[in-house]
Structure 1
Amino acid sequence: MSIVISVENLGKKYNLIHQQREPYTALRDVITNGFTSFGKKIISPFIPKSKLARYQSPTSEEFWALKDVSFEVKQGDRIGIIGRNGAGKSTLLKILSRITEPTTGSVRIKGRVASLLEVGTGFHPELTGRENIFLNGAILGMGRAEIKKKFDEIVDFAEIEKFLDTPVKRYSSGMYVRLAFAVAAHLEPEILIVDEVLAVGDAQFQKKCLGKMEDVSAKEGRTVLFVSHNMGAVRSLCSRAILLERGGTAMQGSVSSTIDTYLEGVAIINACDFNLAALPRVGSFGSHLRILRLCFNQGMGIWHGKPLEVEMTFDCRADVFDVSFGVGLCNRDGARVVTIDSDALGKRFNLHGGERGVAKFSLEEFQLAPDTYTLDVGARSGDTFGLEYLSPCGQIFVAPSDVTPSSIVLRESVSGGYRPIARWDISCH
């Protein structure tokens, strides 16, 4: 088969500006800063310009999101792109989608590309679902007759017929994704690029999307590039995988061997005590809250059927309210099997800037089958996605024991796993 994507020595550089900013400013700080600024104006004529510039100018540094990335994709390939947060996956897809230009290297693409990189990509919030279907089709280079031919199929797949003439700004994130994916998959692009957005949809729709992508590739000969932290989805859909690490290509090859290499590299420090301070993270409120450490059973090991205690150390840099904490465990395929969060009991906390605290939770019996699991950790404010999210941030091993566990209260989770009801406590200083 012919090569449709050729990437050679690709690099993308950003200039990061570091400027000191107070996360929270009180009235006394405003008054103090005013006097300080006035004082600097008085003494600045007597300070050498070289020293003055050092204090006035923000510092900058170069950051390579991608460096020396090379690979080829053939027509009809289904390629999984995996790696930790901050590895460069989304930057790579943005370059392939021509959203941003590379700093070094070259990209050659043969065929029409449809991209689904984030919720609502290419949608105008004031337009209805019907109007956005035609808008997206036009962006992809489709004629009106061609779009009308596929219109009913798109609406049926997205399951939004009732809301078709409603402005998409009133859609939920799940409805956004359903419509966006339906448009991208049905308007016959030669290359379909899908980022982690499918994680927003429910389990049934995710399964439907994976089936559609498989049909698009296997039956119609089109190419799919798929980014996901769900290793089960990557394993079931993709024929090859590329592992990115710190902006470079760590491995290319079969799906199984690439995923195994990725999961082997996830473990940090040891199986029960994780230093999270230096890990890349995702959060919708920036640096308001930062999770620094996670410790299971005081670092002494985890056993099936025995008590579980977890301590989560965090640093609160600004006032945040209605905060809930959570820990998730995924099996070897990346499927979530357990979610332990304070929100299961409606337990949320109000935190103040400048505080450091420890969130603790405990279970009388931890009923998880002996095996190795990958670990997610996060915190959110209210019903928003999150203040902080690290996935995956380590591996834990649940050891077998001779204890016969008794019944424990479990609550089914929308994420596909279960939510044990844990006791939560929090202390700050």
Structure 2
Amino acid sequence: MEKDIILKAENISKQYRLGQVGTGTLSHDLNRWWHQVRGKENPYLKIGDTNDRSTKGESDYVWALQDINFEVERGDVLGIIGKNGAGKSTLLKILSKVTAPTTGSIKSRGRIASLLEVGTGFHGEMTGRENIYLNGAILGMTKKEITSKIDEIIEFSGCERYIDTPVKRYSSGMTVRLAFAVAAFLEPEILVIDEVLAVGDAEFQKKAIGKMQDISKQGGRTVLFVSHNMAAVKSLCTRGIVLEYGKVVLDDDINTAVSYYLGGADSERSNSKKFDCFDSEIFHLKEIGLQNVGKNFDEPLLENQKIELVTELFLKSDEAERYHVTYHLYNDMGESLFSFSNNNSTEILKKGRNILTCTFPENFFQSGNFSLTIFIVEDKRHSIFKESDIIHFTVVDGERELGVYMGREPGYIKPSFNWKNKN
């Protein structure tokens, strides 16, 4: 059976120049022109660092995307996942034709509606109703077609009371509600959605995901979805592409893609990670790692032994005691399990080198995949640094004794409570 390909990306690459001047200096422009006159390749396409945010580069150019190739069939719901800076938003902007690729081409059949940022395509001085007509016109719809759907759009958005008020007076949540309703109900062949839905409340997120499922299953339309919420990605998408440092490292079914992203399918990944880019006037984050107590970072993490989280950072401030480290722990669905912090202990940070350890008791974790998000907090009030999914790790079964229950127990942690028989 012949595939019905609605979107095709061929050798897509995107290069950016770092610094304040985005397009390069006059000398660079002349050099490009001279090579073009002679029929030669742009000389600046041959240079540039990989887009790894955790390391310092040596070039003024960086490849946000490199050699991206994939096809999307009509009716597919494709999840594009990866860490911050992996190139997800850049790819969606290219697919939406907001920006042009440095090399390669995009071939699509049908209208593309994009929801990339709050208020994308909206004019702040125009009312919500006027913006619905404006967006519909951009999608190539007639006024009559838009009018036939406008009541559904307004009802779904929940902004009926404010629909004749200028959009500049909307909250970010109201704006994204109306923008999604417009994109969904004006029936584009391809709907492109970035993390923007996270701005909405829980009720609206559930409603939006349900609508996207209807669009793909009943309408036969194609959805490209980017989110850090792995539960939403798993429930909505049928296929996933994992991006790392601007390159496609996996294109597979959504369960395999999410498992890979959360660290369960890459044998080369270590339980420790060194950094040289997270360096500010206040701190320099150097390394984060997990190990069983008395073992090394490169050994498997066993659930039946104590696990030690090691955070090495250098504080430059004379008031180092004002700062503390907080972590959020996530499971393999991207759901937050709990947070923990050295702020609740007697161990404070000092000026200079700090090697902060946090020890989890044995049999605390269930076997499975986990990730950590780090915060560095000032004065117990506000975060001066946050990095989501800064490290992934896998806890493995520590060879349970023969005769115990052999199935995987429910949940993600195994708390040890104090039991007493007072009889």
Deviation at 1:153, TM superposition (A): 1.6
The residue type paired with residue 97 of structure 2 is: R
SS state at 2:205 partner: helix
Change (3 A) 1:311 1:392: closer
Change (3 A) 1:404 1:264: closer
The match for 2:327 is 327
Pick from 366, 371, 374 the counterpart of residue 371 of structure 2. 374
User: Cα gap change, 1:63/1:7 in structure 2, threshold over 3 Å: closer, same or farther?
Assistant: same
Deviation for aligned residue 1:230: 2.2
Contact 2:250 2:257 in 1 (8 A): yes
Cα gap change, 1:375/1:215 in structure 2, threshold over 3 Å: closer, same or farther? same
Find the aligned partners of 2:70 and 2:144 in 1 and give their Cα distance.
37
Measured against aligned partners, the alpha-carbon deviations of 1:129-158 in whole angstroms (never above 9, x if no partner) come to 333333322322233332222222222222
Alignment partners' CA distance in 2, 1:387 and 1:201:
24
Amino acid across the alignment from 1:127: M
Output the amino acid matched with 1:332. Answer: D
The within-5 A match list for 1:152-163 is: 152-163=151-162
Shift of 1:166: 4.0
Letter in 1 for 2:328: G
> Is 1:102 aligned to 2:101, yes or no?
yes
Structure 1 distance, partners of 2:174, 2:61, is 38
Identity of aligned residues (%): 43
Partner of 1:30: none
Q: CA deviation at 1:242?
A: 1.5
Equivalence for 1:75: 74
Quickly say closer, same or farther: Cα 1:256–1:306, change in 2 above 3 A: closer
Residues 327 and 339 in structure 2, CA contact (< 8 A), matched pair in contact too: yes
Q: Give the deviation of 1:397 after TM superposition.
A: 2.9
Partner residue of 2:12?
Answer: 10
| Deviation of the 1:264 alpha carbon | 2.9
Matching residue's letter, 1:241: G
Aligned to 2:389: 391
Q: 1:182 is paired with a residue of what secondary structure?
A: helix
Q: Deviations over 1:6-26 (max 9, x none)?
A: 11111111122499xxxxxxx
Q: Distance in 1 between matches of 2:256 and 2:291?
A: 32
The number of equivalent residue pairs is 356
Contact 1:376–1:392 (8 Å) recurs in 2 = yes
Amino acid paired to 2:369:
T
2:220 aligned with 1:221, yes or no? yes
| C-alpha deviation, 1:319, in angstroms | 12
Match of 2:110 in 1: 111
Query: Do the aligned partners of residues 99 and 380 (structure 1) sit closer, same or farther apart at CA in structure 2, a change above 3 Å counting?
Result: farther
Asked if the contact 1:306–1:405 (Cα under 8 Å) also holds between the matched residues in 2, the reply is no
Matched with 2:27 is none
Structure 2 residue identity aligned to 1:377: I
Whole-Å separation in 1 of the counterparts to 2:335 and 2:193: 19
- The equivalent residue for 1:55 is none
Mapping 1:78-157, distance limit 5 Å? 78-157=77-156
Post-superposition offset of 1:204: 2.7
2:66, 2:116 → 1: CA distance?
A: 21
Q: Which runs of no fewer than 5 residues in structure 1 stay unpaired?
A: 20-58, 408-429
**Aligned counterpart, 1:405:** 416
Contact 1:79 1:240 in 2 (8 A): yes
Residue in structure 2 matched with residue 264 of structure 1 by the alignment: 264
Q: Deviations over 1:154-178 (max 9, x none)?
A: 2222222333344433433333322
Q: Answer whether contact 2:375 2:387 (CA < 8 A) is retained.
A: yes
| Amino acid in structure 2 at the alignment position of 1:61 | D
**Cα distance in 1 between the residues matched to 2:341 and 2:170:** 27
What secondary structure is seen at the aligned counterpart in 2 of 1:9? Answer: strand
Listed one character per residue, the Cα deviations across residues 78-126 of structure 1 (whole Å, up to 9, x for unaligned) are: 1111222222211111111111111111111111100111222222334
Other structure's SS at 2:62 match: strand
Query: CA, structure 1 residues 120+315, in 2 after alignment: closer, same or farther (shift >3 Å)?
Result: farther
Whether the 8 Å contact between 1:267 and 1:394 is mirrored in structure 2 is no
- Contact 1:266–1:392 (CA under 8 A) maintained in structure 2: no
What is the RMSD of the two structures over their aligned residues, measured on CA atoms? 4.3
Alignment deviations for residues 40-86 of structure 1 (CA, whole Å, 9 cap, x no partner): xxxxxxxxxxxxxxxxxxx9532111121111111111111122222
Alpha-carbon spacing, 1:296–1:100, altered in 2? closer, same or farther (3 Å): same
Report matched runs for 1:303-322 at 5 Å.
312-314=311-313
CA contact (8 A) 1:150 1:186 kept: yes
After superposition, give the CA deviation of every residue in 1:328-376 in whole Å (9 maximum; x if it has no partner). 2222222222234699x9xxx9x9xx98778888999997655331222
- 2-side partners of 1:123 and 1:246: how far apart? 31
| CA pair 260-368 structure 1, distance change in 2 beyond 3 A | closer
Paired with 1:335 and 1:243, the residues of 2 have a C-alpha distance of 19
**1:390 counterpart letter in structure 2:** S
Contact 1:242 1:252 in 2 (8 A): yes
Q: Which residue of 2 aligns with 1:239?
A: 238
Give the deviation of 1:217 after TM superposition: 0.8
Q: TM-score, normalised by structure 2?
A: 0.68
Secondary structure at the residue paired with 1:93?
A: helix
Partner SS, residue 142 of structure 1: coil
Letter in 1 for 2:178: L
Task: Name the stretch that deviates more: 377-386 or 238-247.
Answer: 377-386
